[in-house]
Amino acid sequence: MKTYTQPEKLIVAIAPVGISGVIGAFIFGIGMQLGGACGCGTLYTIGSGNYTMIITLITFCLGSFCASISQDLWSGLPQIPPIVLGETIGWKNAVIVQLIIFFFLAIIVGIWTKNSPTSPKNSSWRNFLYNPWSIFTGGIILGLLNWLTLVISGQPWRITWGFALWMAKIAMFLGWNPSSSKFWDGDPALSSSVLADTTSILIPNSQLVYLKSIYGHDAFLTDSIEVNKLVINFLHQL
């Protein structure tokens, strides 16, 4: 696996495609059907109050961690060397090629959703806020959120790394030695707080703070003076 840090604040991992990816995709598909959601969907469902999905989250964490400590097994399977378009045809040409592909995909999706019987016919703001979005609209918003994530954290949107890290920290608490794993040996993420990991907490250098207030869970709305003090204190530490 190759890691690029150019420009400085961006971290991009390039990995080969092989049998391990095919097996992983197959297992992921089965797990997604049995669990009822992917990584993002699991967190979203738990956040909306469906706590039975915690079982899916636990197994997700276990599976991610097991895959990381058995990396030698998977990396030893047949694979095709990674192809980096930026190195093959130049970074500017790579961007142009991908934008052209995305443009035609957007046209196809737009035509498909327009002719779909479930596609909303009213494009008012009320319809946008209260009714399901079209695939085209959802794709644009996801693209913008991915870009925003890249700008804020310096890396693409990723979820399952957080699952593996959480399980690794639990395993360490139970006595597991990270030096026994080639994947985890020397990883600084294990020695720092989970709140310092941009996959777990999107905003870099985030901190967990407590606000003592008589207003309970509505304190962040009513006790604005104390909230402002906490925010200003955090900004001064950056």
Contact indicator for 159, 41 with CB cutoff of 8 Å: no
- 113, amino acid identity: T
- 21, amino acid identity: G
In this prediction, residue 235 carries a pLDDT of: 67
Q: Give the burial class of 38: count Cβ atoms within 10 A of its Cβ; 0-12 exposed, 13-18 middle, 19 or more buried.
A: middle
In this prediction, residue 174 carries a pLDDT of: 92
Mean of the per-residue pLDDT values for the chain? 78
Closest CA to 137 of 115, 158, 106, 108: 106
Q: Which two tokens stand for residue 111?
A: 């035509």
**CA-to-CA dists, residue 221 to 122, 213, 235, angstroms:** 34, 11, 20
**Is 32 in a helix, a strand, or coil?**
helix
Contacts of 162 (CB under 8 A, 6+ apart): 197, 199, 200
Q: What is the mean pLDDT of residues 68-87?
A: 86
- Using only C-alpha atoms, what is the Rg of the chain? 22
In this prediction, residue 48 carries a pLDDT of: 74
Q: How far apart are CA 154 and CA 163, in angstroms?
A: 19
Cis peptide before 81 (omega within 30 of 0): no
Place of tokens 């030893």: 76
- Asked if the model's pLDDT at residue 100 lies above 90, the reply is yes
Helix residue ranges, H only, the chain = 19-35, 39-47, 54-69, 71-75, 85-89, 91-115, 125-130, 135-153, 160-173, 219-222, 224-237
% of residues, the chain, pLDDT over 90? 11
The structure's pTM equals 0.65
In this prediction, residue 222 carries a pLDDT of: 60
Tell me the pLDDT tens digit for each residue of 43-74: 878 877 788 888 889 998 999 899 899 988 88
Q: What is the mean pLDDT of residues 136-165?
A: 80
Tell me the pLDDT tens digit for each residue of 182-228: 889 888 888 887 777 777 766 555 566 666 776 665 565 566 677 77
- Asked if the model's pLDDT at residue 236 lies above 80, the reply is no
Tell me the pLDDT tens digit for each residue of 154-193: 777 777 888 889 999 999 999 999 988 888 988 888 888 7
Q: What is the mean pLDDT of residues 116-140?
A: 66
Contact indicator for 73, 80 with CB cutoff of 8 Å: no
Q: What is the mean pLDDT of residues 112-129?
A: 63
Q: How far apart are CA 201 and CA 181, in angstroms?
A: 25
Greater confidence, 231 or 184? 184
**CA-to-CA dists, residue 27 to 30, 52, 93, angstroms:** 5, 21, 35
Tell me the pLDDT tens digit for each residue of 3-52: 444 444 566 677 788 898 899 889 888 888 888 888 888 887 887 778 88
% of residues, the chain, pLDDT over 70? 74
Greater confidence, 152 or 215? 152
